[in-house]
Copies of this chain bind each other. A is one copy, B any other.
């Protein structure tokens, strides 16, 4: 469409990747996508993109390759090997991995890509499906300043808060910290909710006043109705937050950072999953506290 804009290859067209890639198309970019589900490829084509039948085909002529897949193994699967990105993208290309994975995987990927002349940014996001659709994601970036500057116009078509946080892996580190804080803040609210109800307090009134003071948080604002209505339709699933608590626990272990409370919350998230609640919204940590308090079987 525009000869000045970089050509994009997009690998991974799931709940996040589909609307994000379409936002790039809307912004005028030429996007060639690949994923294993034909339905998603059709959707991309209908939105004005091009469907590629392999990673190799998708990335061959791309200036920028963007990946958005569930976890570290998938990133490794699409990056390495004879059919992977590193073997088939051209030297000089910029690989932007927007998946949420371990910082170490991002560091390793950047190192491996360097030997092929490929530059890498890790750029995980927060904001969920709604943020992806509305292009208001927060994007946490790790890598070189020059590459970040080059990618900024792209990021601006996808999100609102866009920050370079440090060297390779730093985006993942900040995303991991984000998931840590979110889980702990949910747990804080969950303990407070059970305590308040068991004490005979008007929960709605209490949460209103709590939200207005130093106890206020985005979690309390956005999840208040989940707590009040015991509505745990996701949202962000416990299964995914469990994966993320594993990432932050392992990464903290690697750098020698103590997570005395994060470790307990990771156990409670894992416990919810073991109890069959992995498909619920992460605000279902309330169920864990209720069970511990004898308020739910």
Contact = CB atoms under 8 A, between A and B. Distances in A.
Interface stretch (A19-27, A59-67, A288-296): A288-296
A248 interface: yes
B163 A177 contact: no
Contact of A180 (B166, B191, B198, B217): B191
Contacts of A195: 173, 176-177, 180, 248, 251-252, 255, 257, 259
Complex copy number for this chain: 4
A260 to B, nearest CB: 5
Contacts of A170: 199-202, 206
Contacts of A295: 274
A103 interface: yes
B192 A180 contact: yes
Contacts of A180: 188, 191-192, 195
A214 B218 contact: yes
Nearest to A202: B166
Interface in A185-224: 185, 187-189, 191-192, 194-196, 198-202, 205-206, 208-210, 212-220, 222
B138 A213 contact: yes
A202 B143 CA distance: 12
Contacts of A199: 103, 166, 169-170, 173, 251, 255, 257
